[in-house]
Amino acid sequence: MCGIIGYVGKNQKSLDVLITGLESLEYRGYDSAGVAFISDDKLNIVKEQGRIRNLKEKLDFNMPTNIGIGHTRWATHGLPKTVNAHPHNVSKITLVHNGIIENYEEIKEKFKTYNFKSETDTEVAACLLNNLYEKNNNMLDAIKEFIKEAKGAYALGIINTDYKDILYAVKKNSPLIIGVGKSENFIASDVHAILKYTNKYIVLEDETFAKITKDEINIFDKNGNSISYVIKEFNEDEKVCSKGIYDHFMLKEINEQPEVIKKTIESCLINKKIDFSKYLENKNIKKIVIIACGSAVNAGYVGKFLIEEYANIPVDVEIASEFRYKKVFINKECLVIPISQSGETADTLEALKIAKSYGCYTLGIINVVESSIARICDDVIYIKAGPEIAVATTKAYLAQVLVLTLLAIYLGKKNNLINEKLEQELEQELNLLPNKIESLLENKDYEKIAKELYSKQDIFFIGRNVDYALCMEGSLKLKEISYIHSEAYAAGELKHGTISLIDSNTPTIAIITKKSIASKTISNVKEIKSREGKIILVTSSDTYNINDSDYDYEIVIPKTKEIFRPILAIVPLQLISYYVAKLKGCDIDKPKNLAKSVTVE
Ligand code: F6R
């Protein structure tokens, strides 16, 4: 992970540019932050443990400078201490790094006599680059050789004190863009970091590197040949990145869901019909494999249950980090669906490359346009979530679930399992979902339930089939932002051991939206109740009848077709997690140890 930024240009106040950029990249990591810049011909490096606000206190913003690099860190090698913070300097070379140099121990061995100050792989990278520069006396040759020697993932922003008006950048398997300004240029991990100054950018490709001055950008391939590039324009409004009236980005993003759902639905309709024919019409799909991480995997499980039930196609959901290192059973008849909000998750990206090497057709469900995963997939269905800033995903997860639901309907229709009448009913109901989510957002019971939960040590989530898939996401949301231990269980599985943990202090959230198996989950609810466990139900009013004495709290989602219930039922789980974390005083948008974009494996 980590966020990197760099500036070279006319602006004597480049420290402002670096810090503004880092603030927008803080979602990528927030263990420590640092900047390096040249002022009055001298190199300055300032770094500090913790948030960017700590770094700001150490900086003198009046220092004139027109070249610098900055970094916000998510620790991989070495504790989140100031000494391990970037930038790292070795002699003439100072650099910031996002990624992992996998062979750093081997490289370090070569420089045994050098007195490394930090525990990081990045300082080793700086040492290697400095050595190559001293040997070649030429930066371009040094970077070329660096690409040959360094293994793993890296996006590096580099300054060399021999060339005080040149910024260098090199990339492999970690994202990096070059921002194109007027008499000023930038580098950044993502385009939002530079939008205040320019919306023109170049995507740096893997194993290429750049030499950037205020007026010129030159890009080279790994052999040092100059290559052409395309300047793109980013047209999204920068203002979407503010919290507005909300206390937290997470709450803002939860409240944006009706709009996100509306926009995503619109993007999947042609002549008012759910239509993915441009991707799937001529494909004979025997099996679907979903590859993803974290919440995106949880969305994948919802998709699995729906596609299997409504389209009768087997679906394997593969955790991307596992898929990479196991025997895989895929072939040209498989549709592989990578799901990713950021489009940069390293494990999903690598799993995608494996799927492509087997000749599978790959159709991504992705939020960030032009992201690394989006560019590698054969085709992409973009969810319309807009920028998601809170580290814990909400609106992107929901939009992923929506697209998978629409795919289930489309494939069901294609396989003659959904007739025209049902299709019309589903399409009509689809348009009512944004309002139904709106009404769920207005429910005031979440805070009451959160008061019941926030002092607990452990919480269980139970459900069957698609409700179990929702439990996985509900549980992940709760634990990542409130630090309460929670587990999702297939309701029928609890009695095979875990029920021994249930007592009056260990509540359970039970999700019951599937009519055919509601009575089964109710039996499991009763088993918990009779062991004094408190029960919070999330359910749909027409699903079943239950006695008041069998539960403690009940959230009833608005009536809708069963296939759409996951889209509604997740909203209460998001809000309960949010209010629990708020009552506990947690840093909701930036939970400890996490980062938004996981570009390391
Ligand atoms: C949890 C969360 C993560 C991400 C996961 C994959 O709230 O956000 O579990 O879902 O890191 O990220 P993307 O979707 O960007 O590939």
Q: What is the mean pLDDT of residues 353-373?
A: 95
Closest atom, ligand 1, to C-alpha of 295: 10
Q: How close is the Cα of 580 to the center of ligand 1, in Å?
A: 21
At 156-209, the pLDDT tens digits run 999 999 999 999 999 998 889 999 999 999 999 989 899 999 999 999 999 999
With contact defined as beta carbons under 8 Å apart, do 198 and 180 qualify?
Answer: yes
pLDDT digits (tens, 9 = 90+) for 449-487: 999 999 999 999 999 999 999 999 999 999 999 999 999
Q: Which one from 395, 477, 534, 596 is the annotated catalytic residue? A: 596
Write the CA distances from 266 to 222, 272, 402, integer angstroms. 42, 8, 12
Residue 485's pLDDT is 97
Mutate to test the pocket of ligand 1, among 74, 342, 395, 574 (most ligand atoms within 8 A of CB): 342
What is the per-residue burial (b if ≥16 Cβ within 10 Å, else e) of 45-72? Answer: bbbbbebbeebbeebeeebebbbbbbbb
What is the structure's pLDDT at 125? 97
Report pLDDT for 594: 86
Q: How many CB atoms lie within 10 A of CB 542?
A: 10
Render pLDDT for 80-98 as a digit per residue (tens, 0 to 9).
Answer: 899 999 999 999 999 999 9
471 tagged catalytic: no
Q: What is the pLDDT, as a whole number, of residue 473?
A: 98
Number of H helices, E strands in the chain: 19, 27
Q: pTM of the full predicted structure?
A: 0.81
Ligand 1: atom nearest CA of 477 is 7
- Count how many residues are written for the chain: 601
The chain-wide mean pLDDT, for the chain, equals 94
Distance from the alpha carbon of residue 190 to the mean position of ligand 1, in angstroms: 17
Quick one: average pLDDT of 429-448? 94
First to last CA, the chain: 10
Note whether 144 and 222 are within 8 A (CB). Answer: yes
Task: Find the range with the poorest average confidence among 23-32, 51-60, 250-259, 346-355.
Answer: 23-32
CA dist 140 and 544 (Å) reads 69
How buried is 151 (Cβ within 10 angstroms: 0-12 exposed, 13-18 middle, 19+ buried)?
middle
CA of 296 to the centre of ligand 1 (A): 6
Beta bridge partners of 171: 155, 208
Residue whose token pair is 């039922």: 569
- Provide mean pLDDT across the span 37-55: 95
Rounded to 5 degrees, what are φ and ψ at 471? -60, -40
The pLDDT tens digits for 105-158 are 999 999 989 999 999 999 999 999 999 999 999 999 999 999 999 999 999 999
Q: What is the mean pLDDT of residues 293-316?
A: 98
Which pair of structure tokens corresponds to residue 552? 């403690």
Distance 575 CA to ligand 1 centre (A): 18
Using CB distances shorter than 6 Å, the residues near ligand 1 are 293-296, 340-342, 345, 348, 392-393, 476, 480, 598
Above 80 in pLDDT, residue 1? no
What pLDDT, on the 0 to 100 scale, is given for residue 237?
A: 57
Q: In one letter, which amino acid is 154? A: Y
pLDDT for the residue numbered 172: 94
Q: What is the mean pLDDT of the segment spanning 44-59?
A: 95
DSSP 204: P
Q: Is 596 a catalytic residue?
A: yes
Which residue do the tokens 């589903």 mark? 426
pLDDT value of residue 596: 80
Q: What is the pLDDT of residues 268-295, one digit of tens each?
A: 999 999 999 999 999 999 999 999 999 9
CA angle 73-239-383, nearest 5°?
A: 80
- CB burial of 294-322 (b: ≥16 within 10 Å; e: otherwise) equals bbbbbbbbbbbbbbebbbebebbbbbbbe
SS3 per-residue string spanning 26-87: HHHCCCEEEEEEEECCEEEEEEEECCHHHHHHHCCCCCCECEEEEEEECCCCCCCCHHHCCC
Q: How far is the CA of 595 from the centre of ligand 1 (A)?
A: 9
Other CB atoms within 10 A of residue 219 CB: 19
Best of 254, 345, 400, 483 for a ligand 1 pocket test (most atoms within 8 Å of beta carbon): 345
Kindly report whether the peptide bond that precedes residue 572 is cis, defined as omega within 30 degrees of 0: no
pLDDT for residue 7 is more than 90: yes
| Cα torsion angle, 387, 392, 395, 400, sign | positive
Helix (H) or strand (E) holding 107: helix 104-110
Query: Is pLDDT of 14 > 80?
Result: yes
User: Model confidence over 529-566: pLDDT tens digits?
Assistant: 999 999 999 999 776 778 888 899 999 999 999 999 99
Q: Which two tokens stand for residue 191?
A: 């385009």
Residues in Cβ contact with 335 at an 8 Å cutoff, skipping those fewer than 6 apart: 280, 283, 285, 287, 288, 289, 360, 361, 363
Which of 2, 268, 293, 334 is an active site residue?
A: 2
- Residue 202 has what DSSP assignment? E
Cα–Cα distance, 474 to 570 (Å, whole number): 7
What pLDDT score was predicted for residue 28?
86
Nearest CA to ligand 1 atom 5: 294
Nearest residue (by CA) to ligand 1, atom 10, is: 295
| Tokens (6 digits) for 411 | 């494939």
pLDDT at position 426 is: 96
Residue 242 pLDDT: 74
- Ligand 1 atom index nearest CA of 292: 16
